[in-house]
Structure 1
Amino acid sequence: MSIYNNDIKLSILDIGTKLQGNDANQTLKDSTERIQLADELGYTRYWFAEHHNTPNQVSTSSELMIAHAAAYTKHIRVGAGGIMMPNHSPLKVVENFSLLEAMHPGRIDLGIGRATGTDNVTAYALRQSKEAVFSYDFPKQFDELLSFFNRDFPSDHLYHGIIPIPNNGNYRLMPAIYMLGSSTGGVRFAISEGLGFAFASHLAPHLATQVLRGYRNNFKPSKYFTEPKGIFTTILITADTDEEAQYLAGPAELFWARLQTGDIHSPFPTLEEASNHVYSSAESTVRIQNKDRFIIGGIKTVGQKLRHVAKETMVDEIMIMEYYADKEASQKGYRLLAEEFNLKGTNE
């Protein structure tokens, strides 16, 4: 498959945003409906993020979200985008994802992040160790994670005799493993071990092309992946027209402007609130600076942009971060994208 034609795969990243007027129950119900729609339309994968101590997000446990979503779908891959390793024991991650793979063979992805994804106090509450919070031991955690999956600790290693979960005959209960990144750090681990790699362009849009091209050009086949598997992740809002898409993007733009000017507690804006909001000078400056974090436009505009992005970054898959303030608009956007990129859904 060429990365320069229309054969672009589409996927979704769900961060569990709680919209105004919704409680946690409704937020999770909407996520379930969204992944079922994505499954029906032919999207490749659906990932859940891990966030802690965030007033607007309910996705605190990717593993539980995955188990629930996979049980309600049939074909789409389901995974973590990602498991933030500093918050976890490598053994427990392997146990959890081996079980998920046993429950849903060939459909589970494990995306690995190097950061905590939260503040230091919450990180301490998660790990119960100040030393762990302020030290960087990801390389050790990463090595242990892969060794637990592969059952290849040296014979004299303390963990050599630990069996995370009995192997299923000749089939290793291992998900597809991806490194996550928004800098030049995470990609080194993906290259060194031959893993998949997902770049969060909404966090560092200026690095996306450089890092994803570097990943593809330096990738070496491994037991995990025989060829490079890069994913470009972005915040995308689309509709029938450019004007409608810009209106629908208002809440996401306002949310990010507030976030970067110090307002981390305001709820996710409604469409009406965003439309009527008068930006402060600081917010206006940030809004302009943030323009590359988003891909916004009518479906034809967005289609052209995504094909250009795929060519520039040398990927064949784009993951859309769910940031709609209206459920119906979100569902319509995913339908428009599926039609534009001729996704092969289960209803065809």
Structure 2
Amino acid sequence: MNTVNRLQLSILDFVHIYKESDARQSLQNITEMVQLAEEWGFYRYWFTEHHNTTTLMSTSPDLLSLHAAAHTKSIRVGSGGIMLPNHSPLKVMENFTLLEGLYPGRVDLGIGRASGADGRTMWALLRSRELLKTNDFPEQLDNLLSFFGRNFQETHPFSHINPPGDQSMVPNMFMLGSSEGGLKFALDKGLGFVFAAHLAPQLAIPVLRAYRSNFKPSVYLSEPQSMLATIVITAETEEEAKYIAGPAELLWAQMSTGTRILTFPTPEEAKNHTYTPQEELAKERNNERFVIGSAKQVAEQLHQLARASLVNEIMIADFYPNQESRKKGHELLAKELGLSQGDQ
């Protein structure tokens, strides 16, 4: 395979707390998984940000990125993403300056516009009830970029804040999006762009193509850099992959119908679940959120998605139901696509 056209694969880890496991074990799973991902030739390993959930341990992607980087040698690490409405731009800048300083050339900062939390949880994070009604993301993003660039206008109230480090300690930055809103900020600022196709599958291709068509070089990027993120589940056979995908399909069907998710179901539980009519309809509508099948089938679908959306990198939103199935699935796909660390 021509390495110039080779599809790059990356992993987005939600740090799921699997059924019959616990939070501590979920965190321990990261070490094994990121080391294997590096060995198999995956390009990036990112972490999501979620709060007030009993099924995910991805509360602090910056800390998780630090752990992942400390246990690997070359794979890029980062956030997919930092939900900026939950944070002080200065603190985000400081944390990612530290990461980039410790692991030069390996750190990515994916920036999200949503909170990723319910109102009460966001209130607890922000320590301010008033801020819940404030949509100041544009200002937050400007401040974040100005802190990294150390280029506030003299009249700005933050112009005399002097964080340690310098402009060589700036991570690779991406806007995340599942609509045209994220696209607008990526284009306005000249940042990389990642589209969450598992959240809005029908918009993925037109929005990613629009990013490529309209990108203009910036101080951050000389050419467009885009990724498509989607849920990918593979196994030795299509039948086995569908069985392993059962828990994720059930989770998404229940989320789509407003059910609060308390545990990550096992494949057997998903297989034996009796879907309500509403869940069955949601499951059918959710089909486009998933790429499921044998490694060969999945590889073909991912190449099709990449060509259609004009990307050369797919980020796998990891919804495997346990550590063993995710290791096997990621390894099978890496081999099928001919990934190798040297070519990445």
TM-score of the two chains, using structure 1 as the length reference: 0.96
Shift of 1:207: 0.2
Deviations 1:63-116 (A, max 9, x none): 110111100011100000000011000000000000010010000000000110
Q: Deviations over 1:167-216 (max 9, x none)?
A: 2xxx6210000000001101111111111000000000010001000001
Contact 2:5–2:312 under 8 Å retained in 1: no
Whether contact under 8 Å (1:250, 1:275) holds in the other structure is yes
Match status 1:272 vs 2:268: yes
- For residues 130-171 of structure 1, the C-alpha deviation after alignment (integer angstroms, 9 at most, x for no partner) is 22111100000000000000000112222112122232xxx6
Task: Structure 1: state its 5+ residue gaps.
Answer: none
The answer to whether residue 189 in structure 2 is matched with residue 193 in structure 1 is: yes
Q: 1:39 — aligned with what?
A: 38
Aligned residues: 344
**In the alignment, what sits opposite 2:117?**
118
Please name the residue that 2:325 is paired with. Answer: 329
Please name the residue that 2:106 is paired with.
Answer: 107
Q: Once the two structures are aligned, what percentage of the paired residues are identical?
A: 52
Match of 2:255 in 1: 259
Matched residue, 1:231? 227
- In the TM superposition, residue 266 of structure 1 has moved relative to its aligned partner by 2.9
SS at match of 1:105: coil
Distance apart, 1:49 and its partner CA? 0.5
Counterpart of 1:155 in structure 2: which amino acid? E
Secondary structure of 2:193's aligned partner: strand
TM-superposed deviation, 1:345: 2.9
SS in 1 for 2:341: coil
Query: In 2 relative to 1, CA 277–20 (structure 1 residues): closer, same or farther, beyond 3 Å?
Result: same
* CA RMSD, Structure 1 to Structure 2 (Å): 1.7
Deviations 1:288-312 (A, max 9, x none): 0000000001111111101100010
Corresponding residue number in structure 2 for 1:89: 88
The question of whether the paired residues in 2 share the 8 Å contact of 1:40 and 1:347 is answered with: no
1:81–1:110 contact (8 Å) kept in structure 2: yes
Query: Residue 343 of structure 1 aligns with which residue?
Result: 339
Give the structure 1 partner of residue 239 of structure 2.
Answer: 243
Partner of 1:11: 10
Q: Quote the Cα distance in structure 1 between the aligned partners of 2:223 and 2:257.
A: 41
Deviates more, 1:232-241 or 1:150-159: 150-159
Output the amino acid matched with 2:180: T
Q: SS at 1:232's partner residue?
A: strand
Amino acid at match of 1:89: S
SS in 2 for 1:179: strand
Deviations 1:225-274 (A, max 9, x none): 11111100000100121111111100100111111222213311101101
Higher mean C-alpha displacement, 139-148 vs 337-346: 337-346
1:344 deviation in Å?
1.3
Any conservation in 2 of the 1:95–1:164 contact (CA below 8 Å)? yes
Change (3 A) 1:332 1:347: farther
Would you say the 8 A contact 1:40–1:346 is kept in 2? no
Deviation at 1:276, TM superposition (A): 1.1
* Distance (whole Å) between structure 1 residues aligned to residue 341 and residue 173 of structure 2: 25
Between the aligned partners of 1:8 and 1:14, the Cα distance in structure 2 is 19
Contact 2:251 2:261 in 1 (8 A): no
Match of residue 183 from structure 1: 179
Q: Does the 8 A contact of 2:97 with 2:165 survive in 1?
A: no
State TM-score, norm by structure 2.
0.97
Matched, 1:295 2:252: no
Q: Is this contact kept in 1: 2:112–2:176, CA < 8 A?
A: yes
